[in-house]
Amino acid sequence: MFKLQELIALYGLKVIAAIAILVIGRIAAKGIREIIRRTMRRARVDETLISFVSSMCYIGILAFVIIAALSQLGVETASFVVVLGSAGLAVGLALQGSLANFAAGVLMIIFKPFKVGDYVEGGGVAGVVEEIGIFTTDLKSPDNKKIIVPNGKMAGDNIVNHTTKEIRRVDIVAGVSYKDDLDKVKNVLADILAKDDRVLKDPAPTIGVLELADSSVNFAVRPWVKTGDYWDVFFATQESIKKRFDAEGISIPFPQQDVHMHQAD
């Protein structure tokens, strides 16, 4: 009975202190998790990143609390720390690619080089962004294929966002014969653009001789349009150029070569 009292006196307070550390530590971990969530939401951080960061902080604090409680009971925790450190290093080395994708995903969510719905080129592919995850970005190709790109590859390459700006320039090249009247060609091209209400007046379209090519005189036709009208104007303008050139008697030459033959003596 005396030994039992001694054990209770010796370990009772330690057990109570360990339980108190666990309870208070868990409450504190939950409170810190909520503070992190509120702070990140006020900063308008992506919800996926908020959930991940807050959960990782909660788990890290909880692990520290458990180690502190075990230490209060007299358990040697140095070995636990060493084991956890070694395990963390081994997992980090094994998941180098995944961690790189995670880091790239965090950076993309923070800096937002593109958003869901944008048409982008990156990582060697192009498509409409459907989802930006922690490890991968999902794109939908123009022919309706789903493309899953690792974030490390997406962030490590040049990213071209075609829809982030309100207006875009349509670049079209129209070739005519060297025999055609260049002033007439220029007026016809200007008239085609003037009759399309989707072509913006400001900035004004650019029409000019781009190149004296091998078989044709190439005109640069560069109207400005709203981003949503880009492809419609691109296709419609080329069709209109062909029809108007035919109606105006302006020829569109095809590549050709002149071969001169000399008879040897």
- For the chain, give every domain's residue range: 2-94, 113-161, 167-248
Q: pTM, whole model, 2 decimals?
A: 0.64
Using CA atoms, how far residue 65 sits from 68, 247, 257, in Å, is 5, 83, 83
CATH 3.30.70.100 fits 167-248, yes or no: yes
Beta strands 160-161 and 167-169 are unpaired
Please state which CATH number belongs to domain 2-94. 1.10.287.1260
142, 197 contact by CB (below 8 A) = no
Predicted confidence pLDDT, tens digits, the chain (265 residues): 545 555 555 566 677 777 888 888 888 888 888 888 888 777 676 666 677 777 778 887 887 888 777 777 766 666 666 666 666 655 555 545 567 777 787 788 777 888 889 999 998 899 999 988 878 899 999 999 999 999 888 888 889 999 989 999 999 999 999 999 999 999 999 999 999 999 999 999 999 999 999 889 999 999 999 999 999 999 999 999 999 999 999 998 877 777 778 777 6
**pLDDT for 185:** 96
**pLDDT for 95:** 47
Using CA atoms, how far residue 230 sits from 160, 161, 166, 214, 243, in Å, is 16, 14, 11, 30, 20
Alpha-carbon gap, residue 164 to 160, rounded angstroms: 10
**pLDDT for 48:** 66
CATH 3.30.420.40 fits 113-161, yes or no: no
Does the CA dihedral 100-106-111-115 come out positive or negative? positive
